[in-house]
Structure 1
Amino acid sequence: MANHKQTCLSATERVYHTRTVDTLVCYHREMAKILMNSEYCFPKENKVKKNDSDNLETKIKNHTIEKKAVDNAYDSILDTLKQQNNYAQSDIEPYFSHHHSQVMQLAKFGYLSALAYNSDNVFNHHSPLQIQQEKKIIDDLCKLIGFSSKDAFGHITTSHTLACYEILWALRNLKTLPMAIARHPKSRDLVADKKAFELFNMSISDILVMSEQLNKREIFDDVSYLTCRGTGMTKTMHLGKLLVPVSRFEFWKKAMDILGLGYDNLIALPIDGSFKTDTEKMRSIVLRLIEQGEPILGIIGMLGSPSYGSIDKLKPLFELRKECEEKYNNSFYIHIDASQFGYMKSLFLDDNHEIIPYEILCERLKKDTPLLELTPEIYESVTQLSLADSVSFEPFQAGFSPYPTGVVCIKDARMSRFLTNPPRLCPEQADGVPEIDGIQSAPAVASMWSVHQLYPFTLSGYGKYAQIQWETRVKLEQFFNQAQTFEKEGEHYFIRVLSVSDFNKLNFAIVKKGNTCLETQNNLNKAIYENLVVKSHYRQDLSLLTLCARNSDDAPMQFCRECDLGKNEWETIKHLSLLQITIKSTQLVDKKQIEAGYQYIKKIVLSALDQ
């Protein structure tokens, strides 16, 4: 078996060093040669003695019909895969995508290497190698956030969605603990001096301290059965409202449904004209809930909106919680969704993983990339990430790993108690895995681990890549704004950029000069996107973004006016279709490449107009 693994790894290395685009197909071809000729698939010794003429190994070695059938089927599959993967690939990929970068090649190499060693593709905490790799990843990300790796807890999930659901699951279980403590005869003395309203609004740290006391009394498991985990959500377990940015309302709405918390307990936080959560309105909502005696389950902050690419002002959020604790004896949980720009914090750390002072960082950025302008609000939001109770990441969004994974990091490891099933009948077989899905993809973990070995998450490490992505977006946005109109059959078109992105997302619309109808403009941009999908079989770097009243309030109204649309068009249609590019390239781009990217956009626009 050892020789087999070494051979598989050697095959992976050979494929990787060829640096071909069709890496996966090459890898499969190499693996097929190994497996078809190895004892791993066709052992020489069989427990049941069979006639040589019926022996599968003999048939294959003698090139009988079974061998030909296998070869023909395999060749057919490979040919189909190759045609699908290479069919009309878009020209934009070499300029703005990340699929051929050195970082991505390393991620693929890590994935394929682990796939050779883990043929079942998963591990469930029984693989020492994957456990070590996961620990390394979590330690790196906790250090990036500013959490203490000794006190924090985290792990890799199969998707960022599950990472967020897991946070809400733990929070639900945690917030019902004070009421359970009050009901249990051996623990009610811990909360004897508290009223019901105070039990609903206890701080996370106070609840965790009480959970420690329950452990000392050896009654934590018994009390846990009096929480929603044992009794379900009852009328007395009113956990209050979860406040989320309006752009992620539908995402968290599904989570509230799954966990039985109810749609009515979800409040959408409005956004301002810059497409960030309106901090003044958020403050008003929080204070009004406190005045009404309504508990607050938690607030979700965004370090990069998936829709607009804007970073919320997180400092006012942390200050608001501190004010509520000091003035009103009321606290709430804060989770930061850093799926989009979490890795961007590398840009703010020196080689000792200390935060670089604002003035010094601005000077360095001005020297290296004069186009970049770092505002105090963004600096404060990113550098105060450590004040959150938990942070979630999605490696794919940073352009580091092309495989579906999510990461959840929790500041206080004691919260992991609320993610495990308490033992009852067989304590020695209790569920001790503090996570929602239980297994991960071993190759995906290895892919992330490989990337983490390349550079540290500092300004001189992956911060350079963040800088390149940010700068490329700024250059492309400036080029779009300065570009001349282009003509098709007597009609003139131009690009209008929605300038709200704070990092690597670029949102824009193709506008027909003289058009005042929003529906016509939306149909034009949808046609452009669909034309690209049809020709490429998949979206590539260009995606379609739809803004509506449900995910953007009335913030797009001003952009509609900038597109010279009718005065009341937004009030009538209430949705806006945009095209979006997410810059994930790790290579510096010059003016020539930026212009090539613009010419590509122009080309697909003109192509769509022919349809």
Structure 2
Amino acid sequence: MENKKNINVDALFLGPKAENEEFFLKNLTKMFTEHSQWRKNFHPEDGDVITSTRARKESFIDTQCKTEEMLEELSCKLRSNMMPWHSMRYIGHMNTDTLMASLLGYFAAMLYNGNNCAYEGAPATTILEGEVGEDFCRLCGIDSDTGWGHISLDGTTANLESLWYMRNIKSIPFAIKKVAPEIVEEMTEWELLNLSVKDTLDLLEKVPDKFDKIKNNSARCDANLITKLGKLLVPKTKHYSWLKAADILGIGGDSLIEVPVDEHFRMDITALKSIIEETTSKNIPILGIVAVVGSTEEGAVDHVDKIIELKEYFRKKGINFYFHIDAAFGSYCRSMFLDEDYNFIPENQLKTKYKEYEVFQNCEAINWPSHDVYKAFEAIKEADSITIDPHKMGYVPYAAGGICIKDKRIKDCISYFANYTFEKGMDIPVLLGAFTLEGSKPGASAASVWAAHKVLPLNISGYGKLIGASIEGANMFYDRINNQKTFKVLDKNITVKTLVDPDFNMINFAFNIEGNTDLKLMNELTHGFYEEASFCTKLFTNEFITSHTILSRDEYGDSPLKFVNTCGIPEEEWKRIGSVSILRATCINPFFSDEKTFNEYNEKISKAIVNDLEIVLKKLNQNNLLN
């Protein structure tokens, strides 16, 4: 019997120093050899096309030499100028080492060059994508018989697709009124604008013979309808892809209302309720609401459960809207809450389960998740759609985003059919491309994600253990910063403060000179450190690499004020300057959870921090910015 608890993180990756090189090379060669045999075995009676005579031509040899020279040049460029994501010294963007299983799966499928736009272009990998879609449903707590999921190019594309759903579904009742008025004749315009997603889809099922005509009278063909559809509510922590999506789909950026966030950078539920009430009181409908599970700058997890409660509250008042969760970063973390049968683990049993599956090396030291985070992940299953990014916390190579929808009938509202590619009436996965934003799409991405899921189930026995390692490493990093408090640099004490206790595995922090109350100087110090500890300078001699962002009053209101105060900056300074520069460390690397490794690299990183701060202080002094 397979021991599903026996997942070893060390065996999953090539490793920071290519420690698993031999294993990886053996299987890479195996995949290529089997592909070569596949070519030879298709009609073995056929002779070689590239004969030895042709291969002896001077031009043939010269061409191969040219290819080898190009590869040497390419390798040199890559080795000398790519970000060393794999290193223990890198704690920056949402990137790290990728699973060997996913790399090998991508390489193997890439050789066959499948196009998952249509089944006949990639039979094997199209089926694999269908299985991955079922995995997405299982991860999100959605019944795969009634829900649906697929791989997209990335989270931006998935978010665009969700807004496409919102726009078309919201406009469908008006199209029905044009094409089949008898089934909505007693409804007012306000009622048509406030039908739930389910009620709209149920109406469509009443007139299946008129479905195509209804679609052609919806917002996909009638641009005038778009102006009626209302506002899209997004948190201040939104990803910039929502502005892109609103632009592309004709919704317009002015249709987005940004909801304030609280001091923990989660959507403010009281503010959300007020905005819905104020907007609908003016007879302006709500097109949809977007929650974020793992914001790109803070890793914050919105109160999904409370938004669901609010959705029900307004439903009883006759106000309905689409609800999407942008969980591009945080979606895979839901595996931390699922047992081997994909049941959501009761909150009071989590600690016991984490010990049983050895999710954390030191369970007693990890106080995660908070109750708020637990309830948010539990409620994800209630959303209409969820953005999922395997190429983030799925540890698979780019490009691999994804989306999951609760009611698979939604996909019919955006479908397009090309006779040369799709035959109407056929089932998914044969018709996969008819229901997605992309046309051609690499089957290799589907194989890569599928391979990762085969090795690591999307529950506590698989991804739960891997992501648990990253959360443990993040908590150790967070605790070390808070325990450090100050660095002695030249003749100054440099304080270091964390933004918030992490909802996930992202740690934000900033430096200040002890006693300084000048926010501009604090920002100069933190940003100056970023310039030393980033891709900006000495990339391959850098001993610590991180990333950076700015929290401005224009975007966040006064949410950062509490943090600014803890750094010793008074409120009037915050109001005067209006922004704070912070460092952003995404602790995805699972190897930091090992205490010995963490301590070894923490010592190196601490020295690097002091060295970089020395450089920054000297520059500030030269520019007469220090007292």
Band of TM-score, shorter chain: 0.7 to 0.9
Q: Distance in 2 between matches of 1:223 and 1:97?
A: 42
Determine helix, strand or coil for the equivalent of 1:449. helix
Equivalent position of 2:72 in the other structure: 75
1:225 aligns with 2:209: no
- Alpha-carbon distance, 1:598 to partner: 5.5
Amino acid at match of 2:249: L
CA deviation string 1:314-358 (max 9, x = no partner) = 1111111111112x1111111011111111111111121111111
Equivalent position of 1:411 in the other structure: 406
Q: Distance in 1 between matches of 2:196 and 2:125?
A: 35
Q: Distance in 1 between matches of 2:445 and 2:422?
A: 32
Q: Distance in 2 between matches of 1:564 and 1:166?
A: 44
Equivalent position of 2:619 in the other structure: none
CA contact (8 A) 1:98 1:104 kept: no
CA contact (8 A) 2:88 2:601 kept: no
Gaps (5+ residues) in structure 2?
1-13, 42-46, 426-430, 617-627
CA contact (8 A) 2:308 2:382 kept: yes
CA contact (8 A) 1:505 1:580 kept: yes
- Alpha-carbon distance, 1:382 to partner: 0.6
- Alpha-carbon distance, 1:427 to partner: 9.7
Determine helix, strand or coil for the equivalent of 1:219. helix
- Alpha-carbon distance, 1:211 to partner: 1.1
CA contact (8 A) 2:125 2:444 kept: no
1:158 aligns with 2:162: no
Equivalent position of 1:350 in the other structure: 339
- Alpha-carbon distance, 1:70 to partner: 4.4
- Alpha-carbon distance, 1:518 to partner: 1.5
Amino acid at match of 2:289: I
CA contact (8 A) 1:366 1:372 kept: no
Length-normalised TM-score, structure 1: 0.85
1:338 aligns with 2:331: no
Question: Are the structure 2 counterparts of residues 94 and 575 from structure 1 closer, same or farther at C-alpha, using a change threshold of 3 Å?
Answer: closer
1:493 aligns with 2:494: yes
Q: Distance in 1 between matches of 2:232 and 2:261?
A: 16
Equivalent position of 2:58 in the other structure: 59
Determine helix, strand or coil for the equivalent of 2:468. helix
Equivalent position of 1:8 in the other structure: none
Determine helix, strand or coil for the equivalent of 2:462. coil
Q: Distance in 2 between matches of 1:512 and 1:31?
A: 57
Gaps (5+ residues) in structure 1?
1-12
Determine helix, strand or coil for the equivalent of 1:438. coil
- Alpha-carbon distance, 1:411 to partner: 0.7
Q: Distance in 2 between matches of 1:312 and 1:60?
A: 62
- More divergent stretch after superposition (356-365 vs 374-383): 356-365
Equivalent position of 2:468 in the other structure: 467
- More divergent stretch after superposition (281-290 vs 447-456): 281-290
Counterpart selection for 2:563 from 535, 538, 559: 559
1:143 aligns with 2:138: yes
- More divergent stretch after superposition (90-99 vs 436-445): 90-99
CA contact (8 A) 1:416 1:434 kept: yes
1:609 aligns with 2:614: yes
Determine helix, strand or coil for the equivalent of 1:458. coil
CA contact (8 A) 2:550 2:582 kept: yes
Q: Distance in 2 between matches of 1:466 and 1:17?
A: 21
CA contact (8 A) 1:95 1:593 kept: no
CA deviation string 1:153-177 (max 9, x = no partner) = 2211111100000110121111111
Counterpart selection for 1:584 from 577, 585, 588: 588
Equivalent position of 2:447 in the other structure: 446
Question: Are the structure 2 counterparts of residues 423 and 173 from structure 1 closer, same or farther at C-alpha, using a change threshold of 3 Å?
Answer: farther
Determine helix, strand or coil for the equivalent of 1:193. coil
Equivalent position of 1:198 in the other structure: 191
Q: Distance in 2 between matches of 1:88 and 1:173?
A: 40
Determine helix, strand or coil for the equivalent of 1:568. helix
Q: Distance in 2 between matches of 1:68 and 1:227?
A: 57
CA contact (8 A) 1:88 1:535 kept: no
Counterpart selection for 1:359 from 323, 348, 351: 348
C-alpha root-mean-square deviation of aligned residues, in Å? 3.6
- Alpha-carbon distance, 1:387 to partner: 0.7
CA deviation string 1:363-398 (max 9, x = no partner) = 445786122243322221111111111111111221
- Alpha-carbon distance, 1:228 to partner: 1.7
Equivalent position of 1:208 in the other structure: 201
Determine helix, strand or coil for the equivalent of 1:230. coil
Q: How does 1:191-340 map to 2 (within 5 A)?
A: 191-215=184-208, 218-234=209-225, 237-248=227-238, 250-326=240-316, 328-340=317-329
Equivalent position of 1:3 in the other structure: none
Question: Are the structure 2 counterparts of residues 122 and 537 from structure 1 closer, same or farther at C-alpha, using a change threshold of 3 Å?
Answer: farther
Equivalent position of 2:9 in the other structure: none
Question: Are the structure 2 counterparts of residues 220 and 506 from structure 1 closer, same or farther at C-alpha, using a change threshold of 3 Å?
Answer: same
Determine helix, strand or coil for the equivalent of 1:299. strand
- Alpha-carbon distance, 1:89 to partner: 8.6
Q: Distance in 2 between matches of 1:311 and 1:510?
A: 25
Amino acid at match of 2:212: D
Q: Distance in 1 between matches of 2:100 and 2:420?
A: 49
CA contact (8 A) 1:469 1:586 kept: yes
CA deviation string 1:423-467 (max 9, x = no partner) = 899996899610111232222222111110012222222212222
1:573 aligns with 2:603: no
Amino acid at match of 1:525: T
- Alpha-carbon distance, 1:85 to partner: 4.8
- Alpha-carbon distance, 1:529 to partner: 1.9
CA contact (8 A) 1:174 1:207 kept: yes
Q: Distance in 2 between matches of 1:176 and 1:542?
A: 45
Q: Distance in 2 between matches of 1:209 and 1:97?
A: 40
Q: Distance in 1 between matches of 2:94 and 2:416?
A: 43
Q: Distance in 2 between matches of 1:362 and 1:46?
A: 62
Determine helix, strand or coil for the equivalent of 2:233. strand
Amino acid at match of 1:585: N
Counterpart selection for 2:126 from 128, 131, 136: 131
Equivalent position of 2:381 in the other structure: 386
Determine helix, strand or coil for the equivalent of 1:300. strand
Question: Are the structure 2 counterparts of residues 601 and 333 from structure 1 closer, same or farther at C-alpha, using a change threshold of 3 Å?
Answer: farther
1:543 aligns with 2:550: no
Amino acid at match of 2:397: P
CA deviation string 1:26-70 (max 9, x = no partner) = 979x989x99xx999xx96589xxxx8xx6751157x5x555544
Question: Are the structure 2 counterparts of residues 519 and 123 from structure 1 closer, same or farther at C-alpha, using a change threshold of 3 Å?
Answer: same
CA deviation string 1:293-313 (max 9, x = no partner) = 211111001112111112111
Q: How does 1:36-51 map to 2 (within 5 A)?
A: 45=49
- More divergent stretch after superposition (524-533 vs 158-167): 524-533
- Alpha-carbon distance, 1:75 to partner: 3.0
Determine helix, strand or coil for the equivalent of 2:57. helix
CA deviation string 1:2-36 (max 9, x = no partner) = xxxxxxxxxxx9xx998349989x979x989x99x
- Alpha-carbon distance, 1:139 to partner: 0.8
Determine helix, strand or coil for the equivalent of 1:248. coil
Q: Distance in 2 between matches of 1:290 and 1:97?
A: 38
Q: Distance in 2 between matches of 1:268 and 1:384?
A: 22
Q: Distance in 1 between matches of 2:130 and 2:558?
A: 44
- Alpha-carbon distance, 1:562 to partner: 0.9
Question: Are the structure 2 counterparts of residues 99 and 425 from structure 1 closer, same or farther at C-alpha, using a change threshold of 3 Å?
Answer: closer
Question: Are the structure 2 counterparts of residues 105 and 605 from structure 1 closer, same or farther at C-alpha, using a change threshold of 3 Å?
Answer: farther
Determine helix, strand or coil for the equivalent of 1:353. coil
Aligned length: 573
Question: Are the structure 2 counterparts of residues 291 and 373 from structure 1 closer, same or farther at C-alpha, using a change threshold of 3 Å?
Answer: same
CA contact (8 A) 1:473 1:506 kept: yes
Determine helix, strand or coil for the equivalent of 2:340. coil
Amino acid at match of 2:81: Q
CA contact (8 A) 2:96 2:395 kept: no
Determine helix, strand or coil for the equivalent of 1:496. strand
Amino acid at match of 1:77: L
Equivalent position of 2:3 in the other structure: none
